[in-house]
A and B are shown apart, each in its own frame.
Chain A
Amino acid sequence: MKRRAKFIVGGVFILGALGYLIYAGVSQSVVYFVTPSELMAAPVSGKTYRLGGMVQAGTLKWEPKSLDLTFAVSDGKTAVPVRHKGTPPDLFAEGRGAVVEGTWTADGHFKAATILAKHSEEYKAPDDGAAEPGYKELLRTLQGSSGK
């Protein structure tokens, strides 16, 4: 009985310690990104940030030749101008979420080295009448005659 009690106390202790370790480890990635408001509250030029928000509608400009990409990331209150050189992920678009990694520059824009597209937990069928069953789409796209 005494051994069992010792065992339970030890188990609870280990459990607590391990739980804390896991929690602390995950917490490191808790502030995965800062919001535009948080960044603009105290921007430090030259510092590396991960900035997350919505790609503001009407701000996205893309030059396929020079690969210059500019847009604004917004949280509804504050918008941060972002510049990037490169091709964004396919999911990246205005009105969708994005996380950009890069630095805040002295001349007042965010220089993004990496662009990640965020997607919502919504899963919709295409609402333009193209919501045909999967096998038809599959055949069509495999034949390479992707309609519309």
Chain B
Amino acid sequence: MRTRALGWLAGLALLAGLAVAFGYAPREAAQGNVQRIMYLHVPSILTAYLAFGLVLLGSIGYLATRGKAWDRLAASAAELGVLFTGVTIVTGSIWGKPTWGTWWTWDARLTSTAVLFLVYTGYLLLRGMVDEPERRGRYAAVVGIVGAANIPIVHFSVKWWRALHQPSTILGPEPSPIAAPIATALLVNWVAFTLLFVYFLARRIEIARLDDGAVDA
């Protein structure tokens, strides 16, 4: 079974990510060892961006074709996006306490990330409230498309507005001022998180198919 192989691959990649995060990457010059939380925090949000991008894709696809597979893609990706955004927020909070000196503050980055989390939690709640599949898919697709407007707001918030959060190192406009081994460790963990996401998505979509009673689709 291909999904199972993907699961093993993701597991191995995560182990490699751990090994690189703790065994290869050096301490960071200013933050010391606590900076290693970055190898969870940044891959998590990048994976969440990917997830919400797929929600957008699935939502557009569903409105255009009314194919149930699109709706299942959007619903599954949304659940995973909420999971990965949650991990981003919690690990970021744990990282913020020893470095910034606070678990949380209402700056533009943290606020917009909280909004992102709430919008897609709302998306999932909405799906739970509408029973009729056609209407559920249609309503959800609208939220899925509108919610995607949040992704650039979250990402560029640190560039557009003053914040406590530092500007983007990865996916930033300029070449990132980051030491090569730290960048390598980030990349390995990003790949690992992406594999984990694809594995989860495949299983979640399979569950949605069984739920829909779709033997053929």
Contacts and interface: CB of A to CB of B under 8 A. Distances in A.
The short answer to whether A and B are in direct contact, CB under 8 Å, is: yes
Contacts, number: 153
Interface in B165-208: 166-169, 172, 176-179, 181-183
Interface in B127-175: 138, 142, 145-146, 149-150, 153, 157, 161-164, 166-169, 172
Contact of A134 (B27, B162, B176): B27
B101 A123 contact: no
A127 B102 contact: no
B8 interface: no
Contact of A91 (B21, B100, B163): B100
B99 A124 contact: no
Interface of A: 7, 11, 14-15, 18-19, 22-23, 25-33, 52, 88-92, 96, 99, 114-127, 130-135, 137-138, 141
11 contacts: A7-B138, A19-B146, A22-B119, A26-B161, A114-B101, A119-B99, A119-B100, A123-B38, A124-B29, A134-B24, A134-B26
Q: What are the 10 closest A-B residue pairs judged by CB atoms, nearest first?
A: A89-B101, A135-B23, A124-B29, A122-B177, A125-B26, A125-B179, A30-B161, A123-B178, A121-B166, A32-B107
